[in-house]
Amino acid sequence: MAVLNQNNFRIYKWAWLIFAISFFSLPTIGQKKVKGIVVNKQPSTLLSKGFKKVEVYEIDVADLSKHAKANGKSTFDLNLELAGIQPFAITIAETNLLADDYQLIVADGTNLQISSLPNCKTYAGTLLNDSSSAVFLTISDKTIYGFIKSGKKQYHIEPFRYFEKDAAINNFVFYEAADVIQSSGQTCGVTELDQKVAAFSGSGSQPLGEATGLCKVTDVGIGSDRSMVDKYGSAALVEEHNISVMNMVVGLYRNAQIGTGYLAFRIRAQYVSVNTTSDPLRPAYNGRDADSVLLYFSRWAVETGFSNTPDLVQMWTARDFGQYVGPGPADYNYNVIGLAFLNAVCKTTYPAALLISTAATIRKGSHLPAG
């Protein structure tokens, strides 16, 4: 057995002290401060129309995305520190919203470009001090989009460029859901979430609650027409937007009861048209009749559609559609937010199909009728 003399003991004592100080002072990969700096204390006219209260922040989202991806599938903590608002201490982990064979198809009227892995990642978790809360975020080097729900309050964050095309890529809008002016006609994360919930409710499921039974995983295919590219800027940004919205839908439907089981969604494919000639419609159609668009989209889904055959196909568009209400030839209701073939999941004639327009918002008179 080795014997330590007094000098050796002092050396070992200082070595352990230095090691302990070094070890415990190392930064942990799971901790991240995310600071938001107020961009403008006077919101734009467009934001003022749509919100009672709203703030625009500059956030280094590229740094956040790098940190989030470095954590892989591990749970990690965020401290979201937005100037003028109490900080949000969040714990989240990456989720599997995309199917293993997920693909993005970009059509320009002549060629199809197919890719598999988007730049963004989806995350879910809670506030650290509230286990009953819910946090669902989509993060990339250009985007942070989603909601934080605690008790009766629900906060949303999304890119400012969704409201003003010239906005800086690192500028983001933050607001409470209760501050959205539903009658303004302004589209935002709250109204888009309402649209998707209204659309999926046609399946007979109800969001939230405590679901029991077997899980029914519904593979979704989303077809976006040229108007979505015009609105969001590029095929890649349309893909990212659609994933972000679907991640919020998953957040609300995470305990959705449907019959004797519960419902889960997974995106299997996206098709984005960058040219009107390649819009997901058969035959091509530029009219505004919602019933015709739904029929032509469902035909496209069968005849061309997605090679990996999702359970449910959706057409997302920024165009405004109407449904004929008669009796005159010009009598259309243009407050329709979407249209659906109901009870069609197991039919062979058409896939279950939804038409959802982001041009309309949930407001008095808006509805999602059955096709």
Residue 253 lies in a domain: yes
Tell me the C-alpha to C-alpha distance, in Å, between residue 109 and each of 96, 225, 272, 278, 297: 31, 12, 11, 5, 16
State yes or no: cis peptide before 310, omega within 30 of 0: no
Residue 97's domain comprises 31-357
Per-residue pLDDT for the chain (371 aa), expressed as one digit of tens each? 445 455 554 544 544 444 444 444 344 455 799 999 998 756 566 676 777 888 999 999 999 999 999 999 999 999 999 999 999 999 999 999 999 999 999 999 889 999 988 999 999 999 999 999 999 999 999 999 999 999 999 999 999 999 888 899 999 999 898 877 665 454 544 556 555 555 555 444 444 444 455 667 888 999 999 999 999 999 999 999 999 999 998 887 766 656 666 677 899 999 999 999 999 999 999 888 888 888 898 889 888 888 877 888 889 988 888 777 778 777 766 665 555 554 444 343 345 566 666 654 333 333 333 33
The answer to whether residue 3 is domain-embedded is no
Residue 8 resides in a domain: no
Residue 293 placed within a domain: yes
How far apart are the two ends of the chain, measured CA to CA in Å?
86
Note whether 155 and 174 are within 8 A (CB): yes
Which residues have C-beta within 8 Å of that of residue 87, sequence separation ≥ 6?
A: 79, 80, 81
Residue 303 inside a domain? The answer is yes
Number of structural domains found in the chain: 1
Determine, yes or no, domain membership for 133: yes
Task: Supply 34's token pair.
Answer: 């995310």
Question: Do the domain assignments include residue 4?
Answer: no
Is 364 among the domain residues? no
